[in-house]
Structure 1
């Protein structure tokens, strides 16, 4: 798990419902153009997190499916969400091809599973959420970003 020297917010060990609740609260902190990288092993809760996030933005969680085979799902909620799976992308040019217009226009929120594989594509600030599998029903979550962004998220989510 790569964190570098970036500030970190520990969100604790959460069950599925708590994970969705945290994601919903986190969604209130997002604006068009934001890039959120979801990092964790298979089955660690990344897609479940996206389900909670879309509910916070006014959509039903039932619209969310894993983008593993489609590479990208688009959800039109109060804000547009681009849910991307970078696992099968071979290089940075592929992600640019998939997202070129949207990224340039900052049209929507970009949620990227396995985004650590392509994070060098994003020169601007991004937020990384780490998912750690604790047991069958619990995941440990933490967020890293630059200092300014971490402080904004702390205030927005009202977390220490």
Structure 2
């Protein structure tokens, strides 16, 4: 496992980090976003989308479960698993997203942990105050052994 950490000092910094992160993602990547409510998970995803050339406004998929953005360099699938905490008795078709032609971002991944592929990227965001965030990126699995995210952190 590779691990990288950085600090951001505004929502713009967090969004810019997501935009830079997009330079290193590939189709089939799964990014798990961990952090408290309002910490910047969707802000990171908005930057990622911008870095992928997606022009649509990225919104939290809390009430829709999955938002798909197809107008960039590759598709972006933005999931929010928060409402699935007690609803994992049925197959919701995550495999098509986790092993598809785009990048999948999952907010609140702890609620679908049994569905998450072994190879994934974990982005943990922790708030210090209104502006400052600690971000820790961990790369899990063989898929990421040769990928170096250090240049963007």
TM-score, normalization by structure 2:
0.86
The count of aligned residue pairs is 150
> Displacement, 1:97?
1.3
CA contact (8 A) 1:84 1:111 kept: yes
Q: Distance in 2 between matches of 1:40 and 1:84?
A: 14
Correspondence for 2:58: 64
In structure 2, the CA distance between the partners of 1:150 and 1:142, relative to structure 1 (3 Å rule), is farther
Gaps of 5+ in 1: 1-5
The answer to whether 1:142 aligns with 2:136 is: yes
Correspondence for 2:46: 51
Q: Which of residues 111, 114, 122 in structure 1 aligns to 2:108?
A: 114
More helix by share: 1
In structure 2, the CA distance between the partners of 1:7 and 1:113, relative to structure 1 (3 Å rule), is same
TM-score, normalization by structure 1:
0.82
The answer to whether 1:128 aligns with 2:91 is: no
> Displacement, 1:100?
4.0
> Displacement, 1:59?
1.7
> Displacement, 1:102?
3.3
The answer to whether 1:17 aligns with 2:12 is: yes
CA contact (8 A) 1:14 1:140 kept: no
